[in-house]
Structure 1
Amino acid sequence: MSRYALKVEYHGAPFCGWQRQADGQPSVQAAIEEALARLEPGPHRIAAAGRTDAGVHATGQVAHADLARDWDAFRLSEALNWHLRPLPVAITACARVDDEFHARFSAVERRYLFRMVARRAPVTHDAGLVWQVQSRPDLEALRTGAAHLVGRHDFTTFRAALCQADSPVKTLDEITVSEHPYPGGTEIRFALRARSFLHNQVRSIVGTLERVGAGAWPPDRVATALAARDRAACGPVAPPQGLYLTGVTYPADPFAG
């Protein structure tokens, strides 16, 4: 068997998430596994760096697959993309890797981006790709609130009730908040970086910070919510359509060269 790393881009709207579902609902994993089965008969099971939820997108998801045939990496990506059509899933890079490489367990960092657009007029071209709010948030308040979350903390407040992680303690290495021009309004981007994240952690953080930016919460309330270690202290969870898995880092880049 030969192992291949796949960099995957997808629009999350048509899928119940990354992970294959027992009831047959459409998932990104199932779509790629079915495309693999068209290249090599038999069941295929691939692993990914992150199990994104329903409606969440990716520009830099990484998965790995084991195949019996010794494929040229470029030809494999081209063949997969052919069989994935017309689904909004694309293999943007492919590389042969050692058997020790694991898309999930070898990863040392994951990066997420959340896009929020503030404008009165409905979003058209980015519909389903951003979270739209009506009023421009207070950027400095957002940054002040976000600063309370950087570092190693117990993130119980910001994890889903059904989260299966062994521990709520995680280290958030970075969260940056930036503003960008957007027709008729403005776009706010939240960029987060950590070795790993809890289930719904990013959306819980962004939803809480939105309350700060809207003036409904003072920035210090983010620290209070974090210290509470209580899901009830969290703000509303942001919707999935603004969230993107943008990249995964490994000790050695599998796609380099």
Structure 2
Amino acid sequence: MPRFALLIDYDGTPFNGWQRQSQGQPSVQQAVEDALAKLEPRPHTIAAAGRTDAGVHATGQVAHADLARYWDPFRLSEALNHHLKPAPVAILKAARVTEDFHARFSATERRYTFRLIARRAPLTHDRGRAWHILNPLDADAMRAAAAHLIGQHDFTTFRSTLCQSKSPVKTLDEITIDTRPVPGGTEYRFHLRARSFLHNQVRSIVGTLERVGAGSWQPADVKAALDARDRAACGPVCPPQGLYLTRVIYPEDPFAT
């Protein structure tokens, strides 16, 4: 059966995460699988690079599907987008890949961005797409704190107690924090890059860094929390609506052509 990679963009607001739910709750995976079933009427199971949580968005999720037909990739993406309506899910690209390609296990890097907006006024256009706080943050203090997290560490402090990963040891390759003016305030964007992440690792890190930016923690407190290897030492976990899976890297980009 020919295998296809799908580059997927979605608003996670109405979904209970990426993964198909046994209770019948809406998921992004189910939406895409239902669209595939309209093209080839049979049960479909697709695998994704990252199982995003409820309310988390993606601009660069990757999944793969095994189909019966040798579809033209452009026609496949167009047909899927037709059947995905009106769900806020879009297939940006489809590409034929080799049978040993796996959206999750072939990935060598994942990139996430978290959006935080500080302003007194409520969010309007970005409601549900960014974390809203009232007061500005000290970006330099957050950058100093984030530096303690770069490299290979035991991230027990920054992972969910429900995390199913066999090991809490991960290598965080990069954290950068950008700021930009928005009407009435400032937006902070946290960009994180690693081969893989633990469950809730990004939201735990950003929530802790926000405490540093607000002045409640010092940058050295983040290192102490990391060294504690204790979930209780973590700062608050930030809400999901500001988190985006932006890109998945492979040894060879399946969408390059």
Q: Which residue of 2 aligns with 1:92?
A: 92
1:193 is paired with a residue of what secondary structure?
strand
- In 2, Cα distance between the equivalents of 1:4 and 1:38? 16
Q: Which residue of 2 aligns with 1:162?
A: 162
Q: Which residue of 1 aligns with 2:134?
A: 134
2:239 is equivalent to residue 239 of structure 1: yes
Residue 181 of structure 1, CA deviation = 1.4
Q: Which residue of 2 aligns with 1:146?
A: 146
- In 2, Cα distance between the equivalents of 1:21 and 1:162? 17
- In 2, Cα distance between the equivalents of 1:65 and 1:83? 16
Q: Which residue of 1 aligns with 2:110?
A: 110
Q: Which residue of 1 aligns with 2:42?
A: 42
- In 2, Cα distance between the equivalents of 1:168 and 1:29? 26
Q: Which residue of 2 aligns with 1:211?
A: 211
1:44-97 Cα deviation digits (max 9, x unpaired): 000000000000000000000000011000000000000000000000011000
* Identity score, percent: 72
- In 1, Cα distance between the equivalents of 2:174 and 2:215? 23
Q: Which residue of 2 aligns with 1:63?
A: 63
RMSD (Å), alpha carbons? 0.4
Residue 158 of structure 1, CA deviation = 0.2
- In 2, Cα distance between the equivalents of 1:251 and 1:166? 24
Match for 2:4: what amino acid? Answer: Y
Residue 41 of structure 1, CA deviation = 0.9
Match for 2:93: what amino acid? Answer: A
- Map 1:157-196 to 2 at 5 A: 157-196=157-196
Match for 1:212: what amino acid? Answer: V
Match for 1:79: what amino acid? Answer: A
**Count of matched residue positions in the alignment of Structure 1 and Structure 2:** 257
- In 1, Cα distance between the equivalents of 2:93 and 2:69? 18
Q: Which residue of 1 aligns with 2:24?
A: 24
Runs of 4+ in 1 over 4 A off after TM superposition: none
- In 2, Cα distance between the equivalents of 1:163 and 1:195? 17
User: What are structure 1's unaligned runs of at least 5 residues?
Assistant: none
Match for 1:49: what amino acid? Answer: A
Q: Provide TM-score, normalisation by structure 2.
A: 1.00
Match for 2:120: what amino acid? Answer: R
- In 1, Cα distance between the equivalents of 2:205 and 2:123? 23
- In 2, Cα distance between the equivalents of 1:41 and 1:125? 38
- In 1, Cα distance between the equivalents of 2:245 and 2:139? 23
Match for 1:75: what amino acid? Answer: R
1:206 is paired with a residue of what secondary structure?
helix
Residue 100 of structure 1, CA deviation = 0.6
User: What are structure 2's unaligned runs of at least 5 residues?
Assistant: none
1:148 is paired with a residue of what secondary structure?
helix
2:149 is paired with a residue of what secondary structure?
coil
- In 1, Cα distance between the equivalents of 2:83 and 2:198? 33
- In 2, Cα distance between the equivalents of 1:29 and 1:106? 19
